[in-house]
Amino acid sequence: MHWLWVIIVGLVVGLLAKAIMPGKDPGGFIITALLGIAGSFISTYVGEQLGWWPATGFMHFLGSILGAVVLLLIYHFAFNRNRTA
């Protein structure tokens, strides 16, 4: 049940990460939501393993947002088609 909440929170986190990092991204809503879920999974696993935060709580939520923003930044720089070489 814990991981189901990670997925649900990941969807919300993906939207919040997109709001924090506005602008034209190469992906749409689905990519943003998937990056939010992935950021939440990574943040949950790493944060819990290192003892940074418990399985639930506000710090866990902030960590999920940070993970999603980092993944969105990586995705943006990796797949931005408007780069000049």
Looking at the domain assignment, is residue 85 inside a domain?
A: no
Instruction: Tell whether pTM > 0.75.
Output: no
Q: What pLDDT score does 18 carry?
A: 75
Confirm whether 28 is domain-assigned: yes
**What total number of domains does the chain contain?**
1
Half-sphere exposure of 8 (CA within 13 A, CB side): 5
CA angle 37/41/47 to nearest 5° reads: 140
With a cut of 70, say whether residue 42 has pLDDT above it. yes
Whether residue 84 is contained in a domain is answered as: no
Mean pLDDT of the chain: 76
pLDDT band at 55 (very low <50, low <70, confident <90, very high): low
Domain range for 44: 2-79
pLDDT-derived band at 59 (thresholds 50, 70, 90) equals confident
